[in-house]
Amino acid sequence: MPLSYHPATGEIVLCDYGTGFVPPEMVKRRPVVVISPRLRRRNDLVAVVPLSTTPPVPLEMYHCSLTLAVPLPAPFDNAQMWAKCDMIATVALSRLDRFRDGRMPGGGPRRFRTGMVTADQLREIRSAMLHGLGLGSLTVHV
């Protein structure tokens, strides 16, 4: 079920890249960090950076290592994630969802949650995004 709200900048949600993208673009469900605030007249669009649990080889200036204070639910439960800041995308809100996190005790309703990066981590992601856009000289302004 897609999100029914606009996620906050720095919030980690799940994105379904499975429709409308082709390799070498992202083509599967993957955690993403929201990098855009809610913009006027763009209520259904969100700019995101995908996360990976696999370290990049080789490591580039547009990759950003993140250690999450609270790991995401399985299968994305590695404490260390990598922001792939060369793969910025603006996606429809309908592609985004929260992570399923088991059920309430006693077989109750399903639990959902999201993650969050710190302000310092968001700054690092923005700096790596500039490198991914070939604008690395602007990182002094981040």
Per-residue pLDDT at 68: 95
Structure tokens at 3: 């999100």
Structure tokens at 107: 């077989």
Structure tokens at 44: 């259904």
Domain 11-141, classified CATH 2.30.30.110, yes or no: yes
pLDDT in tens, the chain (142 residues): 689 899 999 999 999 998 888 888 888 999 999 999 998 888 899 999 999 999 999 999 999 999 999 999 999 999 899 999 999 999 999 999 999 887 777 777 888 999 999 999 999 999 999 999 999 999 988 8
User: 50 with 71: CB under 8 angstroms?
Assistant: no
Domain ranges of the chain: 11-141
SS3 labels along 56-112: CCCCCCCEEEEECCCCCCCCCCCCEEEEECCCCEEEEHHHEECEEEEECCCCCCEEE
Per-residue pLDDT at 45: 94
Tokens 């981590």 belong to which residue?
A: 121
The letter for the amino acid at 92 is A
Per-residue pLDDT at 41: 86
Q: What pTM was estimated for this model as a whole?
A: 0.92
